[in-house]
Amino acid sequence: MSNYYPISKIVGSKITYYRKMNGMTLNQIANIIGVSEQQQSRYEHGINRINLDRLNQYAEIFNISILEFFIFTEIEKEYIKKEFPIKTRGNIYEEI
């Protein structure tokens, strides 16, 4: 397993996607959110986890529902399963 957090990496890539779709630079979004450019980069690469309050800030800036960050494609689901294995009685990934 890598040093990154798999779900944070996917959420971070979605932040990058929405940032670019809104024509914003890394520096611009960092200033709006109130973090350093380095911290913003760490969020977008999944190195640092993002709390829900901060994630809600991104959703408001991008004018999307916070749920958009948690709608995973099949490829993203497979990545999560591979990088973050969990043994349960049922299949938790069916609910993702």
Q: For residue 80, is it within any domain? A: yes
What's the predicted TM-score (pTM) here?
Answer: 0.76
Per-residue pLDDT tens over the stretch 40-91: 999 999 999 999 999 999 999 999 999 999 888 888 788 777 776 665 545 5
Nearest to 33 by CA among 67, 48, 3: 48
- The residue segments making up the domain with residue 15 are 6-95
- Is 40 domain-assigned? yes
CATH assignment at residue 31: 1.10.260.40
Domain count within the chain: 1
Query: Residue 1 domain-assigned?
Result: no
